[in-house]
Amino acid sequence: MKLTLVLVTISLTITVLAEAYPQSSNSHRIKRGFRANSASRVAHGYGKRDFPSWKNYFRNDDGSEVLSVNDMADLVAENPSLAKALVRKFVDINKDGIVTTSELLDKKQVEK
């Protein structure tokens, strides 16, 4: 009988201690999905770069809008769309989409 009383006391003690022991908070956590506009909140403005405008390329230190030959060549080399636009505007005289040798060597175009 003493053995039974000791075993019951031990089991009750273990049960009370187990109930009083704090459980992990993960088991009671309410899981939710993503918020509707959460993508717009994450890293807002991070990694954005301010690209210089075209006017900044042509502005010198004194404020005049002139470009040296080397600067213009670098600008055309970096921007294929600018190169195409310049060829269409100043080289392809008859606007047919084909540049001929006569268009390249046209004296009227060179004199302007």
Q: How far apart are CA 83 and CA 99, in angstroms?
A: 14
Q: Are 87 and 99 in contact (CB under 8 A)?
A: yes
Average pLDDT over residues 56-81: 78
pLDDT category at 77 given cuts 50, 70, 90 is very high
Q: How far apart are CA 43 and CA 5, in angstroms?
A: 64
Which of 11-25, 49-63, 67-81 shows the highest mean pLDDT?
Answer: 67-81
Average pLDDT over residues 10-38: 70
Type of residue at 35: R
Average pLDDT over residues 24-40: 62
Neighbour tally for 82: CB within 10 Å: 15
Q: Are 109 and 93 in contact (CB under 8 A)?
A: yes
% of the chain residues with pLDDT over 90 = 4
Q: How far apart are CA 70 and CA 76, in angstroms?
A: 10
